[in-house]
Structures are given as structure tokens and as C-alpha cells.
Structure 1
Amino acid sequence: MVALAAAVPTAALLDSATATPLDPATATLLELSVELIEGLSVGLARPAYLLAFPIAALALWALVFRDASGTASEDSRRWFLAARLAVVALVVLSAAGPYTTQSKLTTGEPRVTMLVDQSDSMAVTPNVENRLAESIESAGVSVRQVPVGAADSSPVGDAVAANIRENGSLVLLSDGRVTSGQSLQQAAELARSANATVSTVSMEPRTRERYVTVEGPEKASLGVQNRFVARVDGVGGNTTATLTVSVDGEQVLERTVNDVPAPVMFNHTFESTGSHTVTAEIDVTDRFVENDVSRQTVRVVERPEILYVSPGEYPFRDYLDRLYDVETAERVPEDLSPYYAVVVQDAPADSIGNVDRLQEFVIDGGGLLVVGGTNSFESGGYQGSNLASMLPVSVGEGEPRSTNIVLSVDVSGSAQEGMRIQKATALSVLDQLGDENEVGLVGFNYQAYRVSEVEPLSQNRQELQDKIRRLRAGGATDIAAGVDGGGELLGDRVGTVILISDGHDNPEEAASVARQLSERGIQVVTVGAGETINERTLRTIAGAGGGSYFRATETTRLGILFGGTGAPGGSGLIVIDRGTFITSGVTLTADPDAFNDVSVRRGADFLVAGDTGQPALATWRYGLGRVATITAHDDDGTLGGLLREPDSLLVTRTTNYAIGDPERKATGVTGIPDTRVGEPTTVTYRGADRPDVDGIAFRRVGDETFQATVTPDSTGYFQILDATYAADYAREYAAFGPDPALESLAEDTGGREFTAGQGEQIARFATERARGIRPVRTDWTWLPLLLGLLVFTAEVSYRRLQVRRRDTTSDGGLP
């Protein structure tokens, strides 16, 4: 056995620089090879067999020289030993399995495996698989057709994964609409690991098809207006559809729709609690009727009761009163049990009242929203108070704190085309970091490499810039290695890993590593950079690591988080993290006059900032409860434009965040999310006793909390106890035409996008894939055996010739 340490890849990480693996490992190898010249190496398949030679040599020596008798001279014995040693050496070498590996141009055997999607969503496209297969075969390439899916089942990702072969070539004839199994992204990752390509053939739909969806809040407050949207979409030629919408069976809207997509918005106010139904239906002539009706349920609850505490009268109080059941007080009372959240606005710390009771209320699961102003935070004596310990911000800007940061830059082969962009992004990120930070650099492909230690940025900024510019791409991709490498470079320090990548890798392992780093106090922030970016993967990793995802164009936001200068020349508010419930899809136009003098605490979520980095909105969990602070305001006690649309959505969501589940104090069935045919949903019940429902088995999941899983087999509205849920049509009928994921699938695996008329081009691509310079291994086991036989024959023949000449005895004089 031979143990070899992991080596640095042949494609150096840096030009004229050294980058060492962060975790060099040793591996026990069963083979041994040495490269003689570029493209040619020699090796042994079973090198352990060489250990037999010294044993055999010792035995031969003993046989020839030990207790020697006979008439053979000393020289004869030496020649005999040398000849037999040569024979033994050649036999042992043959047993060790000698081989050579040489790069050669091979033609290969071009073949095409064509996966043909036969699910219903493909019924709106022409049937071209047979004609396409004939075209490919006429160009001299064999085709194997594999049917995929049927009816409302489209396990396209599973089919791709099942048919991947090493260095193979797949052609996917599908719209890419996956309804079950693994995603196309996961299948692409498997294809890349096998060096297989997946090309796609997608056709534009020719048959007319329309479908309708209805969307709105899952839960609503009694007497509060809610916004819904009924959307008619589809493919094929123009046609007229009549859209009707009913609430609890009563028609509330009728509209004629000609063009698609056609979103139709409407408002509705529910006047009773409990489950309500919203049904959208289209009257149209098209291919399928299954998707002509869409269903949604809304669970209406009593308005959550909140307590508003303030020494003054502000417009925010009236705004809250339109949405919630608001009770006003000048001070926090002893009894907070009726309330879901407490809102404190512009109140000095010594006027708030029973802060100890407020703290208990939040720890036990209540919510707290603290809104700033001229009498609060730095001007309200918050610093050092019991209230301050509950807040996600601390009073005063404070001195810029040193933060430990590692830039982990993707230098894998998948990033090669976009390496220029990734270097520019990494340099832009570095520019946003303040000098007080300590920064290191890691490059990663299939493993992470230590490029620069974590050192004060004020001393090594120029060196880091130079090393980033000299990064080179190559090797397979393992984002998990990049995340882990960043954490390893930080060591025992608390800090942040800023991952700069195109995201083309399976997110699961990287997210798991990010989650582990988060538990150690290391945040993972991701930045998307490259020609094509998989944002979903990068968002998943950032979410698991307690950080945020930023596009390459949003790196100025990192300056706000890590001691930079914000957004020079900007105005208004900046959303720092769009991946949260509060900020997702929010548009901000407000330009507040003032901000309280605060800084965001470590561990809190910094969501919105002013144009120069002042914290405007921050949140965190405190005990079982939720706490939020809004520190943007105007001198007149307003929120600086945040109470006007579209900005008011931010305030509403922040308040809802603090309230949490408006039914957490209720008993009975408190939630059944709507689902689709064939897809499970979970029923949640709160109560002292397990509910008894025929055909449904509830399991205990917490104190007085039970859950059950149900899977509808038909569309409609279904009731369990006192709650209703909707089963909408199958996912197969919810989208038609090529999925954008098809383009990523082809790009990620090195495949091509073809049309149905490009059979010859598909054959040519398959031929090019089969042909190429590949390592060809040649077994030379026979050669040492042949040479050994020749040496043995020559030695025996020589001795026999000597006997005939009477130079030696007939037996050679040997014992």
C-alpha cells in the first residue's frame, strides 16, 4: 500500500503564487503511477506485489550459495543467480500489473439517449420525437428513446438522473415542468459529476391552453380589507375568456380577458370569522378543463388585540386602528395577557411603565415594536435601561467595530467563463469593507485553498487586491468546501464568510455546513457573480448561515453592514435584506428626515437602512417572542413617509411580524394550508385532547398541539372539524411552455439548446462529445512474462550448449 498526500491541482490557483489546501488529507491508493512526460504516465495496478521480489531473491541466493556443493565455479553461480533473479523480477513485475496511460484522440461511439416527456403539459406541443430520432439516426448516430412521465406526473429530474452515464450525452425533449422527484438543478449536479451533458429540445406550444389562479392572504382579520389577484395565463393563439370570481359562493367579479397574462386585482372585506372560500373560474375553449377553476381558502380571525403605548398622539396610532384592535395606554400595565403585541412609540424609558412585565411578556411569546422619535432611544434614556436589553439595536453609533471576514471566491471550472466578473465582484466587495475589519481570502474549487491569512485590512488591502486579480479558474465545484474553508480560516474567531460564486452546485451540503458555522457564531453571506447565476442555491446557503444574499450589483449594501460608507449620493431608504417576510417585494419611496442614533446588535437582522447606513429597521427573536425597531422618523412624530403606500406595506408587515401567529391563543383547528390534488397538507389542532376524526390520525407534536397529514385525491373544498381547505388542480396543469430551468440545465452541464428541426446538429454534437483526447490505458502484463520467458530460455540454452562443449558437467555443476 502507498499513502500519498493530496496535491495542489495542475491548474495553479494563483499566477506565480502559492495557495495551499486548507485541509490536506492522505489517501491509501491501490495504484501507483508516475508521469514521464506530459500526456504519458506509467503505473502499477498492484504495486504491493513488488514486495515478493526481495523474498524470492533471498530464497534464490540461499539455494545457490548456501551449503553449495558441486563443481560449478563461483562465477558460474553468480551468472546463474543473476539470470534467475532477472526472471523472478520480470514475473513479479508482471504480477504487479504494469500499464501506461497516454492521451490519445479517440473517435468513441456516439450515441444519443433521448428522454421524451409524455406528461399532459406536453400535449400542447407537436409530437416530434419520432421525426427527430430518424433525423439523428440518418446522420449516423444511434438513438435510444426513453419515455418520461404520464398524465399529471412529470418526474423529469429523476429521469435525467437515472439515465446519466459517464461522459454520456442526453437529449431532453420536454418543457422542463417538474412535478415530482428531484429538480433539474439536482439532476444537473449529478450530470456534471459524471462529465455528462444534457442538451434540451423545447418547442413552443401550438395548441391553445388557458389556466386560472387566485392568490391572496391565507389568514385575514375581521373587517379589514384584503387584496386578491385572479390571474389568467396560458399559451397558444389569442382567445376570449370570461373570468368570474366568487367569495363564499357569491359572485363578486366578472371580467372578459383577451390577452394573457392578465392579472385582475380585487379587494374584499370579510364580515365573519372562520373559513371562507374564494373561487376563480374561466369560461374558455381550450385543451384542458382541469385548470379552468382555481380555489383558495381564507381563515378569518378576530382582529389581534395590541397595546399602543405613547405619551403623545401620533398618526401611527390611527394607522394601526384600521388594521388591529388597538388599546391605548400611557404606560405598560401589569396585565398584558389580552394582547398579542405591544407597540411603543417615541416614549422615554422612564415613562414606559412596567418594563419587567413587558420583558416577561416577550419572553413568553409576545411581540414588541419600538418606534423611534425625538423622545426615544438616545434622547429617551434607553442606554443602560431594562428596555434596551430587549432591543435588536443599541443606543449610539459607537466606534466602528472590528469584524473578522473571509472572502471565499469560487475559482472552479464552472466559474471559468465568468471569472472576470467574479474577480470584479470580489474587488468590489473588498472596497466596501472598512479598514477596521480583519480580512482573509480563500479560493475554492473541489477543495478550499488558503490564499491570504486573516489580517487587518488597513495593512493588507493592496496585497488582497493583487491576489484577487491573479486568481485563476479550474477544477470541479464544491461550494460546501468553500463555505467550510472560510470557516476553517476564521478558526476560533467569530466573524463572517462572504461567499462569492455563481451558485452552480447542489445547495444541500453547503447549506448544512453554513448552518453548522452559524451555530459557531459565524455568519455566511453570499454574493452572486458570474455569467449565469443560480440565485436559489445562494439564497438557500445564506439563509442557512444566518446571512443575506446579494447580487453583484448590490455590494454597496455590504458597506453598510461592514463599516463602509453606505450609498454615496443616494437618498431615501435601502433594503439590506430582501429575503425576509417583512422586506420581500417591498418598494420604498420614503425619505425620512431623521434617524435615531443606534447601531444594530450582533445577531440581529438588519433589514432597512438610510442612504448613508443609518439603521432604520431591525428585528430579532427575544426568548419566544419577536422584537422590531423602526428608528426612521420625522420631527413631527410621523414615520417619514412610511405610512403612505407603497411604503406602508413595510410597516404593516413589521407589525405582523411582532404579532406572530394571530391564532396562537386559540383552540381547535388553527391551520390547514391549501394544497393540490395528490399533494399532502398538514392539519394543526390545539387543544387538551387528541381530536377524533374518521380516517385521520393526529399525532402529538407539542404541549396541547396535534398534527395530521391529509392528501386529497380530487379537487374541491374539504372540511375537517370546523376548518376548510382547498384542493386545487394538479401542478401539471399550472404552467405550460418551456421552463427557464431548461436553459440552466443545458448551461450547467455543457449541453446545447436545440430545436425540433436540428437532428443533424444533435448528431454532430454527440459525435464531437464522443471524439476527443482521452487517457487511454494499455495493459503491459504480458510483456514482462514474455521477457522472463526469453531470459529463462536463453539461460537454459546457454548452459546446455556449454555441456555439449564439455565445459561443464551435464547438470551444470550446480546442486
Structure 2
Amino acid sequence: MAVLPNVLQVSAELTEGLSVGLQRPLFLLALPVALLALWALVFRDASGLASPRSRRWFFAARVAVVALVVLSAAGPYTVQPQLTAGEPSVTMLVDESDSMAVSPAVEERIADEIEAEGVSVRRVPVGVEDSSPIGDALSANVREDGNLVLLSDGRVTSGQSLTEATELARSANATVSTVSPEPRTAERYVEVAGPEKVSLGVENRFAARVDGVGPNTSTTLTVRVDGEQVLERSMEDAPQVVEFNHTFESTGGHTITAEIDATDRFSENDVFRKTVRVVERPEILYVSPGEYPFRGYLDQLYDVETAESIPDDLSPYYAVVVQDAPADSLGNVDRLQEFVIDGGGLFVVGGPNAYEGGGYEGSNLASMLPVTTGEGQPRATNIVLAVDVSGSAEEGMSVQKSASLSVLENLGDENEVGIVGFNYQAYRVADVEPLSENRGQLADKIRRLRAGGATDIATGVRGGGELLGDRSGTIILISDGHDNPDEAASVASELSERGVRVVTVGAGERVNERTLQTIAGAGGGSYFRASETTRLGILFGGSGAPGASELIVLDRRAFITSGVTLTSSPASFNDVSVRPGADYLVAGSNGQPALATWRYGIGRVATLTAHGEDGTLDGLLREPDSLLLTRTTNYAVGDPERKATGITGVPDTRVGEPTTVTYRGSDRPGSDRPGSENISFRRVDEELFEATVTPESTGYHDVSGATYAANYPREYAAFGPDPALDTLVDDTGGREFTAGQGEEIARFATERARGVRPVRTDWTWLALLVGLLVFTAEVSYRRLQVRRRDTTSDGGLP
């Protein structure tokens, strides 16, 4: 594999554990010039007393000297494992925050067992009560080649994240091991999930979740809405989720309070509060030349007016829904365009009389849509597969290769594809060339990839961008994600600004999905698991599953598709292609675009092209698929209070965590409003003001005429080992220990202290020394020959 141009050093592995390299390989370019000059000096127009044989020996000796001097300038070095000495020691960070109170205290026993093996222990307390700044404590105690043991559940509630601390530990070659005792004391907590803003008279679903750790204990859950009990449920074990529906019959702020009666360690988390803001149903306009069931469905959720064409006045509406309507029947499309540009929503639903069947191509309507009409065209682009070949990927390399081959198999022939492999460097594996001509060769090169070296995902993303050059396109990053995402996300963001999207695929034995999601989000792309490459292929012209018509969600992070389950099989799809820059959310399983969205001006536009043969939406109107229609319409509607004034919105928060108060109006709200005495509003737009409040106690609080909930601190919202500890251990080369493995911790520290580590040795001095010895030996030999023959060197060799 060739190193990409931004990497100057070169190296090669001779044997397992031994590699050689050059720090400044460009100096080798001087060697042929020097040899040519030496040849001219010795042989060209040769004269004098020296014989041809003497000149050949002289030339050979001087070639060796010149080569050694040039080699020394190039900076030769070797890297090989060597045994290093050191004093074994352990820094044990002991989490003393409240979430650890449900686990037995084991730090004394562990410290005694470690010290009994002759290893010193430095104990550092971390956290207190409801504060767990574990990331800060790790960063403050990292030392070069250090050995940290974290006795904690890993639940960070303040300060740096574990990801940030991991990166610092890696840079210092420090290991972080963990001990996370299993909770022994029963602890239960309750939370409520559901919409924050709902429409008047519409039934909404909420969920009360009771979770916790420790032995089973009898728990009673009670839920009250505006003080009236709506639910009571007894349970023995956790976690359990209890769903309930509720319809609010008045506008304004409402409260949902969930409470548990349990015999456990803490009472702080036995009550959870949630506020719901109820607004008038948003008014939407439904435009269609026919009568379809979707109109009745919308009527259950919104205040719907029906028209056969678009009127001149759209000011009362939040969104316009157009279903199965030809372009020439829509009426005032210019007014619709202005409406959307100014912030209105548009949802265009397909059918036999829409899109290619409705003359959309070339119309004013078509310019607003995230799809092009007419027969769908393949989505061709330039693609670079950036494959992680680092040491962290080695155990899962077969998964990496399988995922890479699967991605390649699912890409359409019309794309141009290249490959970059990366560890701490980026390697050009294959240039970006037409896939139709090189699919077999690319697959073979993927199979030949070998793993090794440190991980630097930012280098892989940057290398993919360099392989694309000035072209726009997509980098598909295939990795286990074991690296700090910050630099890679920054590189991905820079690339997205010049038209390069970064999509990530999680592949490996243990995948850090959070890192890969962060990088994809910064790069304007999506994250896919290794099992979802068919979805990825559909985005890039893949054919999907021939003959199938089920719907496939392509992006589960989007508001519309998050948590949506699709079971219907639409009989028909309009022939469209998704425009570059649009969000392609749902497709048919054989690759037909079904749902796409984008922003047009400051408004929102969505297009649905899946439908029944008769133009109806068929199975999409039945649960669970109907949630897709509701979410899409809500997306088009946007904020149902954006036209209102004098409204204050305050999201719920937790004690000690700030929340933002939003006020709409032409004048800055004064301190005479209830709860506004100590709040300072700042103007953020022409008629928009914001302020920040931080509650100091739990309960419902009023501010500027609105109510928000302040719940118990985050410390009491999760117990037991955080899965993020696995990534921390993997990325720093540590180990997961149990509370009874003090001796093993001591042995691990001892091995680390005198461990075998890669050591880099510079051999510049040796090349110069050998060159000097060769030069001295050659000169001495010639002088000796002159003396033995009782001759002079006049006219001989120079």
C-alpha cells in the first residue's frame, strides 16, 4: 500500500515485532545524482597511471561511502519491542458519589491485596453526593506510562466525558482498568417520556419507565395528570415500561407526575415530573382533486380545510398537503412557493396523477421538491471506502472486511469508487475509478488488507478526502470507532463544507457507536451498523432486494423516522430520484425512493411517493406505519406556535442544570411577569427573546407565566456499570477486574512497569560511522599499496 502524500515517513515490517523505516526518505533522491557525479569523476576521460581494476575498486568503495552518507541523511530507524524497567504502582480512583452506595465498599480489600504483592497504591477519592466528575479525575491523574484503576460505575454527571479522558490517557500511553462491583442494594427510579407539545383534543401516548438495580422489591407506580390519578400498577422486578394514553381538553401548561412507592436506597428519584404544553390544533390546507382516506386521517389530528386548488391567501395555514394532484390543477403555485420560502410547510403525497403522471417535471412545483420527477435516475457519485486497518480493529478484521465487501457489493455500477486503508497513517489502496470496471479488483484488494498500528480515525477521514481530491462525493468510513471523535468530526465537518459527505459503518468485535455517530453527524451523513449495508447501498444506486416492495428506513436518527416501524408493502411507487442535498429517509426494499425531505427557504418540504394502485395510502394509514404519516405532517407543520406572540416556552430540566426560557413578542418581557424577578432576557431575533434559569430544587416552577419541571439530579437516574467503561478499557489497553482480583491487578501493574514496549532507535550515527570506516580503510589500503610498490600516486586515482 502506498502512503498518501501527506505522510513523509516510510516504514516496513521485516519480522513480527521488528520494523525499519526512514524519517526523511526524500533524501534518497540525492543518491543517483551523487553516483552519476562519482562515475564521471572516476571513469569519464580516464587518464593517469591507475589501472581499470584499481578504478573499479575505488569506485565501489566510494559508492559505499556515498550511499551510507545519504542513508544517514534519510534518518534510518528501527522499532522493536524491548524490556523496560520501572517501579510498579497503581493509582486507584475511588468513586464516592451516591450512585455507588448501592454497591459494596471494596476499595480497602482491593488496596490491601495489591500492596501485599509489593505494589504501591495511591488512592484518590472521586465525586461526592450527586456529583460524579469521573472524566475530570481521570485526566488529572494521567501520567506517562501510568497505570490507573477506576473503581466506579462510570456514570459521569459533570465535567469531562469519559471519551475526552480516554484520548488523554492514550496520548500518555497510560492504561485505565476498571472495577465495577455489582449492585447489591435494591434501588428503583422512575421517569416519564412523551411529547412536550401536543394539540388540543388529540390523544397522545406517554410512557412511565421504572428501572433500577439490585434484588427484586415490591414497587407501586402511580401516575397523575394535573393532579388526577390516571394509572396505578404494582410490579416486582425492573425495568418495566407502562404506556398510557391521554387527551388534553384545554390549552396551556399541564403536568404529569409519576411516583413510585418502593423500599430502596434513595427517595430522591421516587418522583418524576413532566410538563406538557397544549396548543390549538394547527390549521392545514388539504389540496386534492379526489377523495382519499388520508383526508379523514388528518382530520383526527389537525384543523383541516379542503380545497381543489391553492388559494391566494395561505396566511391561516401552517402547512399545505397535496395528494395525487396534477401540476396544472393546483392553481396558484407561485403563492405556494412564497408560502414555503417564508416558513410554511408542504407535504406532497404521490399517486397515479402525481409526479411523472401529473406533469411535475418543469413546473414551478417541481423546483420546491426534494425529488426530481420523471423516470428515476441512478444516484451516481464519487465514493471512497476508508477502511480501519489499525491494531484495535485486528480482532474484528474479518468483520471489517466482510462489511467492506458488503458495502462494495451493494453500490451501484454507475459510481466511481476508491479505497483508503488507515491506522495512524492513510494508505492509498485503490484510486477512484468506475466501479463497473473494477468491482472484482477492489474486492480482491479489500481481502488482502492486513491490520496493525495505532488508530487515528481523523487520518482516515482526511485520507479519504485527499483521495477524492477536488471532486465532491462521499467517504464511507468502516471502523470499530475506538478513537476520540473530536478531531475526526472536525475534519468531517470541513469536508462537508466542500461537498464531501462522511457516512460511517460500525464493524468489529466491539463497536463504539457513539464515536461513529458523532463523526457522521459532523460530516452530514448517517451511521449504519455492519448489518445495514443494504440500506447504505440503496443510497448509492444499489438494487436492494429484487421483487420486494416492503419499506426500509434509511436514517433512524431523523425526527420523522426515529422509532418508526414499517410493515406495509405499497403496491406502487412514483418514478423519482432524490436530489443531492435532500434527506433520503425511506425507500422500497428494491431501491425506489419513498420518502424524502429538505428545507426550501426557511420552510420544510416532504415528498411521499409510495402508494396503493388506486392512489390511496393503503397500509400506511394503519398502525404502526401511520406514525410515519403523522411525523411527516408534523415535520411540515414545524412549530405549531410560531405564529403566536406573548408565548413562553421552557423545557423541563434537572436540579442544577440550566434550561432556556423562550419568549415571543415585540417587546422585551419585564420583571413584572410572575417568576421573572431575577431573569434577564436577551434579544436573539426581531421578535424572540431568551433567558437562562437553573433550578435549585425539585418540583414545578413558574417563570414568565409558564411552568417547567425540575427533576432529581442525573446522579440518581442510572445505576450499575456504564457501557462506556468497556470502550475506556479497550482504547487504553487496560483490563476489567472484579472486586476479588486485587492480586491480578498487582500482577498487571508489574507487567506494565517492566513491560515490553515498542522502542524506536535512530541509526543515523551508525551509517555515518560505517561510512567513515569504509573511507578510512579505502584510503589506508591505497596508501599501503603505493608504499609496497615503491611508486607514487601522481596521475593515479583522484
Q: TM-score by structure 1 length?
A: 0.83
From 668, 684, 699, the counterpart of 1:690: 668
Deviates most, 517-526 or 384-393? 517-526
In structure 2, how many angstroms separate the alpha carbons of the residues matched to 1:413 and 1:40?
18
Match of 1:456 in 2: 434
Q: Given that residues 315 and 638 in structure 1 are in contact (C-alpha distance below 8 angstroms), is that contact kept between their aligned partners in structure 2?
A: yes
Q: Given that residues 9 and 22 in structure 2 are in contact (C-alpha distance below 8 angstroms), is that contact kept between their aligned partners in structure 1?
A: no
Deviates most, 481-490 or 288-297? 481-490
Which amino acid letter does the alignment assign opposite residue 114 of structure 1?
M
Give the match's secondary structure for 1:642: helix
Match of 1:760 in 2: 743
Q: Given that residues 306 and 324 in structure 1 are in contact (C-alpha distance below 8 angstroms), is that contact kept between their aligned partners in structure 2?
A: yes
In structure 2, how many angstroms separate the alpha carbons of the residues matched to 1:515 and 1:40?
36
What do residues 667-711 of structure 1 show as CA deviations (whole Å, max 9, x unaligned)?
Answer: 123421100000010111111111123111111111111111111
Distance 1:775 1:436, change over 3 A: closer
Deviates most, 553-562 or 605-614? 553-562
Match of 1:746 in 2: 729
TM-superposed CA distance for 1:398, in Å, is 4.1
TM-superposed CA distance for 1:647, in Å, is 0.6
Task: Flag structure 2 segments of 5+ consecutive residues without an equivalent.
Answer: 11-16, 24-76, 671-675, 764-798
Give the match's secondary structure for 1:620: strand
In structure 1, how many angstroms separate the alpha carbons of the residues matched to 2:346 and 2:487?
36
What do residues 86-134 of structure 1 show as CA deviations (whole Å, max 9, x unaligned)?
Answer: xxxxxxxxxxxxx999964234211111110000011111111011100
From 478, 499, 514, the counterpart of 1:521: 499
Give the match's secondary structure for 2:541: coil
TM-superposed CA distance for 1:460, in Å, is 2.2
Give the match's secondary structure for 1:514: helix
Deviates most, 387-396 or 735-744? 735-744
In structure 1, how many angstroms separate the alpha carbons of the residues matched to 2:396 and 2:694?
45
Matched, 1:173 2:151: yes
Matched, 1:108 2:86: yes
1:68-87 alignment runs, 5 A limit: none
What number of residue pairs does the alignment pair up?
699
From 233, 246, 260, the counterpart of 1:282: 260
Matched, 1:730 2:713: yes
TM-superposed CA distance for 1:721, in Å, is 1.7
Give the match's secondary structure for 1:212: strand
From 378, 391, 395, the counterpart of 1:417: 395
Distance 1:258 1:100, change over 3 A: closer
Matched, 1:665 2:643: yes
1:523-538 alignment runs, 5 A limit: 523-538=501-516
Q: Given that residues 482 and 727 in structure 2 are in contact (C-alpha distance below 8 angstroms), is that contact kept between their aligned partners in structure 1?
A: no
Q: Given that residues 40 and 103 in structure 1 are in contact (C-alpha distance below 8 angstroms), is that contact kept between their aligned partners in structure 2?
A: no
Matched, 1:707 2:690: yes
Q: Given that residues 394 and 600 in structure 1 are in contact (C-alpha distance below 8 angstroms), is that contact kept between their aligned partners in structure 2?
A: yes
Match of 2:327 in 1: 349
Deviates most, 394-403 or 361-370? 394-403
From 741, 746, 753, the counterpart of 1:770: 753
TM-superposed CA distance for 1:399, in Å, is 4.0
In structure 2, how many angstroms separate the alpha carbons of the residues matched to 1:777 and 1:493?
39
Which amino acid letter does the alignment assign opposite residue 749 of structure 1?
T
Deviates most, 369-378 or 184-193? 184-193
TM-superposed CA distance for 1:222, in Å, is 0.5
Give the match's secondary structure for 1:523: strand
In structure 2, how many angstroms separate the alpha carbons of the residues matched to 1:352 and 1:756?
72
Distance 1:41 1:492, change over 3 A: closer
Q: Given that residues 379 and 539 in structure 2 are in contact (C-alpha distance below 8 angstroms), is that contact kept between their aligned partners in structure 1?
A: no
In structure 1, how many angstroms separate the alpha carbons of the residues matched to 2:134 and 2:733?
18
Matched, 1:507 2:485: yes
Which amino acid letter does the alignment assign opposite residue 329 of structure 1?
A
Match of 2:619 in 1: 641
TM-superposed CA distance for 1:712, in Å, is 0.4
Give the match's secondary structure for 1:628: strand
Q: Given that residues 93 and 150 in structure 2 are in contact (C-alpha distance below 8 angstroms), is that contact kept between their aligned partners in structure 1?
A: yes
Distance 1:41 1:258, change over 3 A: closer
From 67, 88, 106, the counterpart of 1:128: 106
From 222, 229, 234, the counterpart of 1:244: 222
What do residues 316-350 of structure 1 show as CA deviations (whole Å, max 9, x unaligned)?
Answer: 00100000111111111011111110000000001
In structure 2, how many angstroms separate the alpha carbons of the residues matched to 1:566 and 1:100?
49
Which amino acid letter does the alignment assign opposite residue 265 of structure 2?
R
What do residues 157-184 of structure 1 show as CA deviations (whole Å, max 9, x unaligned)?
Answer: 1111221122211111001111111222
Which amino acid letter does the alignment assign opposite residue 740 of structure 1?
P
In structure 2, how many angstroms separate the alpha carbons of the residues matched to 1:128 and 1:457?
59
Which amino acid letter does the alignment assign opposite residue 364 of structure 1?
D
Match of 1:63 in 2: none
Distance 1:167 1:273, change over 3 A: same
Task: Flag structure 1 segments of 5+ consecutive residues without an equivalent.
Answer: 1-17, 28-36, 44-98, 781-815
Matched, 1:721 2:704: yes
Which amino acid letter does the alignment assign opposite residue 552 of structure 2?
I
Q: Given that residues 39 and 103 in structure 1 are in contact (C-alpha distance below 8 angstroms), is that contact kept between their aligned partners in structure 2?
A: no
Which amino acid letter does the alignment assign opposite residue 686 of structure 2?
D
In structure 1, how many angstroms separate the alpha carbons of the residues matched to 2:344 and 2:224?
36
What do residues 545-569 of structure 1 show as CA deviations (whole Å, max 9, x unaligned)?
Answer: 2211111111112221112211246
In structure 1, how many angstroms separate the alpha carbons of the residues matched to 2:140 and 2:478?
32
In structure 1, how many angstroms separate the alpha carbons of the residues matched to 2:760 and 2:115?
30
TM-superposed CA distance for 1:186, in Å, is 2.2
Distance 1:597 1:775, change over 3 A: closer
In structure 1, how many angstroms separate the alpha carbons of the residues matched to 2:583 and 2:78?
59
Q: Given that residues 652 and 710 in structure 2 are in contact (C-alpha distance below 8 angstroms), is that contact kept between their aligned partners in structure 1?
A: yes
In structure 1, how many angstroms separate the alpha carbons of the residues matched to 2:568 and 2:293?
16
Q: TM-score by structure 2 length?
A: 0.85
TM-superposed CA distance for 1:239, in Å, is 1.7
In structure 1, how many angstroms separate the alpha carbons of the residues matched to 2:481 and 2:682?
39
Matched, 1:375 2:358: no
Question: Highest Rg: 1 or 2?
Answer: 1
Q: Given that residues 22 and 449 in structure 1 are in contact (C-alpha distance below 8 angstroms), is that contact kept between their aligned partners in structure 2?
A: no
In structure 1, how many angstroms separate the alpha carbons of the residues matched to 2:399 and 2:240?
37
Distance 1:776 1:559, change over 3 A: closer
In structure 1, how many angstroms separate the alpha carbons of the residues matched to 2:572 and 2:729?
50
In structure 1, how many angstroms separate the alpha carbons of the residues matched to 2:228 and 2:682?
37
Match of 2:275 in 1: 297
In structure 2, how many angstroms separate the alpha carbons of the residues matched to 1:329 and 1:140?
85
Give the match's secondary structure for 1:382: coil
In structure 2, how many angstroms separate the alpha carbons of the residues matched to 1:144 and 1:772?
21
Distance 1:643 1:359, change over 3 A: same
In structure 2, how many angstroms separate the alpha carbons of the residues matched to 1:723 and 1:700?
19
What do residues 702-751 of structure 1 show as CA deviations (whole Å, max 9, x unaligned)?
Answer: 11111111110100111112211000000001111111112222122211
From 553, 559, 565, the counterpart of 1:581: 559
TM-superposed CA distance for 1:476, in Å, is 2.1
From 512, 524, 541, the counterpart of 1:546: 524
Match of 2:767 in 1: none
Distance 1:384 1:119, change over 3 A: same
Match of 2:794 in 1: none
Give the match's secondary structure for 1:283: strand
Deviates most, 584-593 or 259-268? 259-268
Q: Given that residues 22 and 448 in structure 1 are in contact (C-alpha distance below 8 angstroms), is that contact kept between their aligned partners in structure 2?
A: no
1:256-405 alignment runs, 5 A limit: 256-405=234-383
Q: CA RMSD in A?
A: 2.2
Match of 2:573 in 1: 595
In structure 2, how many angstroms separate the alpha carbons of the residues matched to 1:42 and 1:620?
51
Give the match's secondary structure for 2:684: strand
In structure 2, how many angstroms separate the alpha carbons of the residues matched to 1:522 and 1:543?
13
Deviates most, 161-170 or 670-679? 161-170
Distance 1:244 1:40, change over 3 A: closer
Match of 1:137 in 2: 115
TM-superposed CA distance for 1:637, in Å, is 3.0
In structure 1, how many angstroms separate the alpha carbons of the residues matched to 2:386 and 2:187?
47
Identity of aligned residues (%): 77
Match of 1:20 in 2: 3
Match of 1:75 in 2: none
In structure 1, how many angstroms separate the alpha carbons of the residues matched to 2:558 and 2:394?
32
In structure 1, how many angstroms separate the alpha carbons of the residues matched to 2:562 and 2:423?
32
From 138, 155, 173, the counterpart of 1:160: 138
Which amino acid letter does the alignment assign opposite residue 259 of structure 1?
D
In structure 1, how many angstroms separate the alpha carbons of the residues matched to 2:402 and 2:762?
48
Q: Given that residues 669 and 683 in structure 1 are in contact (C-alpha distance below 8 angstroms), is that contact kept between their aligned partners in structure 2?
A: no
